[in-house]
Amino acid sequence: MVEHNPTGKHILIDIDNAEYKYLNNEIIIVDMLDAMCRMSGATEICKIIKKFSPQGITALLLLEESHISIHTYPEFKKAYIDIFTCGSNADPISAVVLATEFLGGVISERRDIPRGVKFGK
């Protein structure tokens, strides 16, 4: 028996054919995370950004509701984004469209995972 009591929304996005110049630009990545936070109605706590040499960025936006993270691979024109919000105050689904607006490319895969599924007898 599976009891479904959603406690959050979790969206995983794979982006292909994104622009190198955006994927490797810290300012663009931070602007995108900020916009995704605002669009979803979430509240930022802090952000951490790591730019790699010669390319690539990993960034985490810690939210009161959970997090938004991104890992970019400019050399492959790819990015992987993880948006997780707990509760009902924030809606990460509304922020998904911003990913391709900021990075170019296309969403090649999207997975929506309801969190809070409980397994029992």
77: helix, coil or strand? coil
Q: Which two tokens stand for residue 90?
A: 């924030």
Active-site pick, 66, 69, 88, 94: 66
From the candidates 46, 71, 94, 108, give the one annotated as an active-site residue: 71
Q: Domain containing 82 — which CATH number?
A: 3.60.90.10
The type of residue at 118 is K
**53 assigned to active site:** no
Q: What is d(CA 114, CA 99) in angstroms, rounded to the nearest whole number?
A: 20
pLDDT digits (tens, 9 = 90+) for 17-68: 999 999 999 999 999 999 999 999 999 999 999 999 999 999 999 999 999 9
Catalytic member of 86, 88, 94, 108 = 86
Number of domains in the chain: 1
Q: Mind listing the pLDDT tens digit for each residue in 112-121?
A: 988 876 655 4
CA gap 55, 72 in Å, rounded: 9
Q: Annotated catalytic, 71?
A: yes
Contact between 88 and 80 under an 8 Å Cβ cutoff? The reply is no
Active site includes 37? no
